[in-house]
Chains A and B, each alone.
Chain A
Amino acid sequence: MILYKLSSVTKIKSGKKILDNISCEIDKGKIFVIMGPSGSGKTTLLRLLNRLEDPSEGEMFFNGEDIKKIDVRELRKKVAMVFQIPLLFGEKAVDNILYPAKLYKIEVNPEEVIELVGLKRDILNQKIDSVSVGQAQRIAIARSLVLNPDVLLLDEPTSALDFSSKIEIENLIKDLNKNLGISIIFVTHDLEQAKRMGDRAVLIVEGKKIEEGSIPEMFENPRSSELKKFLKGELK
């Protein structure tokens, strides 16, 4: 089953081509990795998927439907997003869990949600400025799970974390994919992380799609010279 289909998507910002004629398909239920050097357009590509931005040209389909025809609130209910730097709001951690539930007028059990991301219940009443960055990122993930999304978009969610929290978050994301069946679309410029996490990947360089395939295939038999360079760490 195809989750997203992008056809000839171009994004121009202040006269500059940020994404250049990208076509690709993303499968449902898998972990899809968007890789590329810094400034290559990964974040921009991810932001198209929940319509925080729209393409300048080209078409996008979500579950076979033209993404522009889907009510954006419905889309964002199904497609949750986790940002690079976890920004919490309100006074206590629990406010972050209650907010989306209130928006959509649904019931939520904050304790259940917070345990889902491997945190203890008592963190719910902790002041937001007293939680660690790793905990904040987990709370941000918990917050994005409240609406039972089909898809989770993550933009380098571990770049602000130390190695052990990084591995923990990676495992958490893999569990969410395996146990809850949530499709994961994951941005990283960390090769090892892509290898540990992903089923399939796409490499973006300077806004262009260079290569796409399954992770083992791409890492063992890179076709393009850019991917070869990227794997050697020569593209930064």
Chain B
Amino acid sequence: MIKVFIAGGLVAIAIILAFIQKIGIVKDLSFGAVRSFIQLIAVGYIIQFVFDLKGVLYQSLLLFIMVLIASYTSRGRAKKSPHAFLLSLISIFTGTFITLGVMLLMRIITTEPKFLIPLGGMIIGNTMNAVSIFLERFYNEFKERKNLIEVFLSLGASPREASKELVKKSVKTAMIPITNIMKIVGIIQLPGAMTGMILAGASPLEAAKIQIIVIYMLSASVAIAISLLALISYRFYFTPSAALRL
């Protein structure tokens, strides 16, 4: 704890300096310092509590609640997209379930809470981002290209054919964040988990190995969720007789 106070002292010095020089960041800095202190201690307690949950059932329940919250958040971002909550729920759940499931089956991870919960959290978070980007992008593109889609339909295209290009575009956009992470990881930025592991005394190679696994899991989950959306989401925009739902 003493270390925390020393670090806190450094922040205090910074605040005093800022006060003397009147650069107007005193309030932000002091609020930020207090806020991050409270937040992180609280999260520490919560994670401690979760790690004490040895039962797989409890962990699964917690993961499912995380998926629900993520779906709700995703719906909030892609508000106008039809059935955004349901689509988010199905896709985030499937992506997370399959990747975690495969990792468990292959014995790459175990059901200890120290694996399932933080990994699950990262997977759910990244998948949620991609899903909400997809839903929002597809909705906006669709709205903009309604007339063109009707041209396709009137030429005899099925809903799938008529929205093919838009689906492709939305998939691409949704995959940008995760592919960017894969490109720059380790070069521009060491991921938080890896930094943490090295600080906690793991060998850099060990940390790198875990990080690779994490990145692969994230991209697998994102890819699964987005492929699923590409297969089902456009259907909600059409009637059974291949007309637009107006």
Contacts and interface: CB of A to CB of B under 8 A. Distances in A.
Interface string A64-95: 00001000110011001101010101000000
Interface residues of B, number: 18
Interface in B46-95: none
B207 to A, nearest CB: 49
Contact of B155 (A51, A53, A144): A144
A21 B154 CA distance: 25
Contact of A143 (B155, B161, B243): B155
Nearest to B153: A52
A13 interface: yes
Interface in B18-66: none
A72 B243 CA distance: 9
Interface stretch (A96-104, A192-200, A204-212, A228-236): A96-104
B148 interface: yes
A144 B153 CA distance: 12
B86 to A, nearest CB: 24
Contacts of A83: 147, 150-151, 154
Given A87-B147, A103-B161, A81 B154 contact: yes
Which 4 pairs from chain A and chain B are nearest by CB? A81-B154, A100-B155, A76-B156, A72-B241
Interface of A: 13, 50-54, 68, 72-73, 76-77, 80-81, 83, 85, 87, 89, 99-100, 103-104, 143-144, 147
Interface of B: 147-148, 150-158, 161, 239, 241-244, 246
